[in-house]
């Protein structure tokens, strides 16, 4: 009796192979750190799947042709009636058809076995994780060089003096200084409580 692979089974197998073929290239692109031997196996597996798909297409064509031929042989056998010679020819043709179907089915099973072996090898091969990016050390902090001793003038407060008036008088004499500069140079100075004969340091950055 001739056993033919059901069309539904071929259709399901073809769908699985197409899905596998679609996943393999994406896997190769998404894993840049795949070891060379694993990458080679994936490419080999992709080639086997493509070959098996081509074999499946050829198998479907062969099955269709064999069905047509088998139908023709059956019709000729029925028309032959009781003629023994024609019945012998019909049986011989049926035997050849059965052998051809068995050979096609055997090749399909062999291709499927090769694909399963490749998948098992891939599953057993560990994939190294991508190397971690090592943080770059922070550049050493450079502190500004210590400022040298301030140069300037010492002023003694006179009655009626205000800090702003003192600064304005020095500016008019050519010393470029501000109230803020004087306060920074005299941290303990209270500008609203100046005392007579109190000494105030007036910085002059242009003084050599």
Look up the CATH number of the domain holding residue 186: 3.10.350.10
Do 106 and 184 lie in one domain? The reply is no
- The verdict on 52 and 117 lying in the same domain is yes
47 pLDDT above the threshold of 50: yes
Segment 3-15 mean pLDDT? 51
Q: Are residues 92 and 51 in the same domain?
A: yes
pLDDT in tens, 121-154: 766 666 555 566 666 766 656 444 445 567 889 9
One domain for residues 102 and 167: no
Domain contains 132:
no
Calculate the alpha carbon distances from 188 to 115, 125, 142, 165, 184 in Å.
88, 76, 30, 19, 9
Whether 134 maps to a domain, the answer reads no
pLDDT tier at 1, thresholds 50, 70, 90: very low
Range of the domain at 157: 152-203
Q: Which of 134, 135, 200, 132 is nearest to 162 (CA)?
A: 200
Cα pseudo-dihedral 9, 15, 17, 18, rounded to 10: 160
**CB of 85 within 8 A of CB of 152?**
no
Any domain includes 142: no
Gyration radius (Cα) of the chain, Å: 49
Number of domains in the chain: 2
Q: Per the domain annotation, does 116 fall within a domain?
A: yes
CA distances from 198 to 57, 158, 172 (A): 108, 8, 22
d(CA 200, CA 186): 7
- Residues 80 and 161 reside in one and the same domain: no
Are 101 and 59 spatial neighbours (Cβ–Cβ below 8 Å)? Answer: no
Other CB atoms within 10 A of residue 208 CB? 4
Same domain? For 25 and 92 the reply is: yes
User: Is residue 162 located within the same domain as residue 198?
Assistant: yes
Residue 73 inside a domain? The answer is yes
| In a shared domain, residues 198 and 162 | yes
Q: Is there a single domain that holds both residue 118 and residue 156?
A: no
Reported as a pLDDT band with limits 50, 70 and 90, residue 113 is confident
Query: Within this chain, do residues 13 and 75 fall inside the same structural domain, yes or no?
Result: yes
Asked whether residue 31 falls in the same domain as residue 107, the answer is: yes
Higher pLDDT, 155 or 120: 155
Task: Give me the pLDDT at residue 148, please.
Answer: 52
Could you report the per-residue pLDDT of 85-110, keeping only the tens digit for each? 555 555 677 777 778 778 877 777 78
In terms of domains, do 28 and 114 share one?
Answer: yes
Q: Is 160 left (phi over 0), alpha (psi -120 to 50) or beta?
A: left
């Amino acid at each position: 009796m001739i056993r033919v692979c059901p069309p539904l089974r071929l259709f399901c197998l073809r769908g699985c192979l197409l899905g596998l073929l679609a996943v393999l290239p994406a896997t190769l692109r998404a894993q840049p750190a795949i070891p060379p031997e694993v990458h080679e196996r994936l490419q080999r597996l992709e080639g086997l799947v493509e070959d098996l798909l081509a074999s499946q297409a050829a198998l479907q064509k062969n099955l269709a042709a064999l069905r047509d031929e088998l139908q023709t042989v059956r019709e000729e056998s029925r028309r032959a009636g009781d003629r023994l010679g024609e019945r012998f020819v019909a049986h011989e043709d049926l035997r050849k058809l059965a052998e051809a179907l068995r050979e096609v089915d055997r090749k399909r099973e062999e291709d499927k076995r090769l694909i399963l072996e490749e998948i098992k090898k891939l599953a057993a091969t560990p994939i190294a994780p991508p190397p971690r990016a090592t943080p770059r050390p922070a550049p050493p902090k450079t502190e500004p060089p210590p400022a040298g001793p301030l140069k300037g003038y010492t002023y003694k407060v006179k009655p009626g003096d205000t800090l702003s008036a003192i600064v304005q008088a020095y500016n008019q004499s050519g010393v470029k200084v501000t109230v803020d500069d004087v306060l920074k140079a005299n941290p303990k100075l209270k500008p609203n409580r100046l005392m007579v004969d109190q000494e105030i340091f007036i910085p002059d950055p242009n003084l050599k």
